């Protein structure tokens, strides 16, 4: 037995599960214990109640989950919505994580809406741009718009086509999506940006310059709010949402190096 760091994976959504992280992140099993967590109400986790579907509760759940399994100084990876939960967790429990990896996420609910519309139009033409305007500018999240979104906009998230079989594996709870993004819901109003100065651990931040869902401008806002001595920031010119689907070998290699350097910094007492 060799003791190694724990990499805790927080999936996107809300409402989805961790399955899209497999098998890509199995490549990190040689240097870390990779643990996949479905958020409360999401995926394969218990549904609980709508009132508990909040960033604060999901952040508290990460902390409680680690404590229950005696996971100390976890390296917490959060992409998209998972990154929002990771930031909420790291700002509520600054001394708990050993490191953070934030990918294609946002610290503010309503930031850079016009950039989203512009990128969807660039990648998918007027139909995609108009649909993005309905959703992000006009706030229309009706069932009809969401059905059209899955058909027109979702395929534009990444430059690499998603494996249909991988999509079939997802256990999805649409009620979480609807609750989080309802009019006046937290998904439309949250603002973690002023809190990011509380982060005390090494943080790797990655963004795709062709990400229409959470544009690279969102990553730049986060980068400007985190202590420079803790931050490593990288933009990928040819990548969309999540980065890994479009550049798996490059990103996995970067993650390996970051995990190993974070463990070395902690062992040396630097953080």
The full set of domains in the chain, from first to last, is 6-108+160-267 (3.40.50.1820), 109-157 (no CATH)
Work out whether the CA dihedral 240, 227, 229, 264 comes out positive or negative. negative
231 by DSSP, 3-state: which? strand
Calpha distance 137→93 (Å, rounded): 33
pLDDT, residue 148, reads 94
- Which comes out higher in pLDDT, residue 262 or 229? 229
Provide the token pair at 97. 């994580």
pLDDT, residue 1, reads 56
Instruction: Give the range among 97-106, 198-207, 257-266 with minimum mean pLDDT.
Output: 257-266
Mean pLDDT of 36-47: 95
- Alpha helices by DSSP H, listed for the chain, are 55-68, 81-92, 113-132, 143-148, 164-169, 174-180, 186-189, 216-225, 248-267
248 by DSSP, 3-state: which? helix
pLDDT, residue 4, reads 83
% of the chain at pLDDT higher than 70: 98
The set of residues, in sequence order, having a beta carbon less than 8 Å from that of 39 and lying 6+ positions away, is: 10, 11, 13, 14, 45, 58, 61, 82, 85
Predicted TM-score of the model (pTM): 0.95
Mean pLDDT of 256-261: 94
* Average pLDDT across the chain, whole number: 94
pLDDT, residue 2, reads 65
Mean pLDDT of 139-166: 90
SS3 content of the chain, % helix, strand, coil (to 5): 50, 15, 40
Bridge partners (DSSP) listed for residue 232: 204
pLDDT of 133 strictly over 70: yes
């Amino acid at each position: 037995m060799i003791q190694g760091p724990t990499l805790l994976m927080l999936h996107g959504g809300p409402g989805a599960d961790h399955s899209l992280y497999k098998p890509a992140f199995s490549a990190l099993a040689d240097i870390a214990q990779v643990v996949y967590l479905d958020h409360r109400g999401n995926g394969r986790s218990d549904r609980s109640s709508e009132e508990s579907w909040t960033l604060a509760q999901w952040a508290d759940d990460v902390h409680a989950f680690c404590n229950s399994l005696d996971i100390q100084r976890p390296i917490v990876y959060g992409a998209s919505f998972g990154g929002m939960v990771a930031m909420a967790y790291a700002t509520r429990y600054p001394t708990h994580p050993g490191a953070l990896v934030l990918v294609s996420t946002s610290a503010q609910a309503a930031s850079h809406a016009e950039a989203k519309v512009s990128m969807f139009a660039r990648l998918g033409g007027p139909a995609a741009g108009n649909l993005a305007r309905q959703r992000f500018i006009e706030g229309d999240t009706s069932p009809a718009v969401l059905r059209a979104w899955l058909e027109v906009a979702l395929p534009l998230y990444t430059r690499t086509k998603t494996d249909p079989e991988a999509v079939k594996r997802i256990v999805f709870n649409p009620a979480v999506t609807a609750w989080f993004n309802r009019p006046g819901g937290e998904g439309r109003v949250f603002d973690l940006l002023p809190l990011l100065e509380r982060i005390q651990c090494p943080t790797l931040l990655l963004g795709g310059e062709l990400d229409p869902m959470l544009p690279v401008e969102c990553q730049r806002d986060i980068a400007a709010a985190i202590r420079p001595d803790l931050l490593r920031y990288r933009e990928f010119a040819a990548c969309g949402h999540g980065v890994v689907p479009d550049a798996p070998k490059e990103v996995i290699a970067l993650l390996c190096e970051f995990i190993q350097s974070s463990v070395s910094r902690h062992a040396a007492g630097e953080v």
